Amino acid sequence: MLSLKPFQIILVAALLIFSPATATMAQSEELYTNPTILEIEDIMKQKGYDVKYLDEENLVAWVLGNGKFTTVSITEPNILNFRTFGKNVNISLDKINEWNSGHSFGKAYIDAKKNAVLEIYMDYTGGVTKERMLDFFETCEQSQNEWLAVVQLK
């Protein structure tokens, strides 16, 4: 008859209980070290965004729930760039500076065409999980809604 000591029983039980959870966690924590535009498109579609290619330079565009146009592109190595803007808006630099002072994950500015631009970046050096990318897009959507309210386009 097989005789197990109490610590051996605990060890076997722990292995049986946690092995499936560990396997599931490992699957959900897959790292994207160099995500392609197609992988980003797939993740965005899973989130419910309407994704369309804007041009042939790996630039993707989508319309969020608020109906506003936004672009997502891979800029510089390992940087995912979210960009939204309001055309020809009348916003002061004081309001832009106020926005920038309260947000550290991107920047707002007025471009040469007098568009009020919001850009948010995600650096994925070392890899990023799908969950982190989904969180990034959620943050972008929330920030876009706030930004459009500031520039009075909502």
The more confident residue out of 138 and 48 is 138
Residues 3-51: tens digit of each pLDDT = 656 655 565 555 556 555 444 444 557 899 988 888 888 888 888 887 7
The CA-CA-CA angle for residues 53, 56, 57, to 5°, reads 105
Residues 86-117 have pLDDT tens digits of 776 778 888 888 888 888 888 999 888 888 88
Phi, psi of 92 (to 5 degrees): -85, 155
Helix segments in the chain, DSSP class H: 6-28, 37-47, 93-102, 130-150
Distance, in Å, from the CA atom of 121 to the CA atom of 113, rounded to the nearest integer, reads 22
Kindly report, residue by residue over 55-89, the tens digit of the pLDDT: 655 556 665 555 566 788 888 778 888 888 777 67
Q: Domains along the chain?
A: 30-150 (3.30.1460.10)
Write down the pLDDT at residue 88: 65
pLDDT of residue 21: 45
Instruction: Assess contact for 124 and 35: CB atoms under 8 A.
Output: yes
The Cα angle at residue 128 between residues 126 and 129, in degrees rounded to 5: 145
pLDDT at 150: 79
- What pLDDT, on a 0 to 100 scale, did the predictor assign at position 56? 58
From CA 28, how far away is CA 9, in angstroms rounded?
Answer: 29
